[in-house]
Amino acid sequence: ATLMERILKEHARRKGAQKRGGGFVRVSFDDGIAVVPGRDEDADTLYRALAELRALDPDLARVVDYSFAGLTQVEMAELLEVSERKVRADWAWARSWLRTKIASLEADVR
């Protein structure tokens, strides 16, 4: 599983603990994302959108994962063995696609 999948799955698993007196969900800074209690639907929506992006284009999903993990575009380009320009273009496309997909998923819920 990717870093984002593990973080979102752990968050979903722990949200039940809040019902039993649990407080904040703690995710280390090194994991690349802080999950805010009370925003479970946002995490679920992001998880679903990322899963769809991963199915559509695994390379774009990796750019998103690396970005959430805090890698620079230079580091991503080295890992993916592509140019920095390609990483910038992929990141811009993935962000745009995710915004549109998340808005669509949120509209479906309302």
Residue 86 has pLDDT above 80, yes or no: yes
Residue 85 has pLDDT above 90, yes or no: yes
> pTM of the full predicted structure?
0.63
* Backbone torsions φ then ψ of 41, nearest 5 degrees: -65, -35
pLDDT tens digits, 19-51: 555 555 554 444 444 445 555 677 888 889 999
* Backbone torsions φ then ψ of 51, nearest 5 degrees: -65, -40
Q: What is the pLDDT of residue 27?
A: 47
What is the C-alpha to C-alpha distance for residues 26 and 77, in angstroms, rounded to an integer? 30
Structure tokens at 81: 């063995």
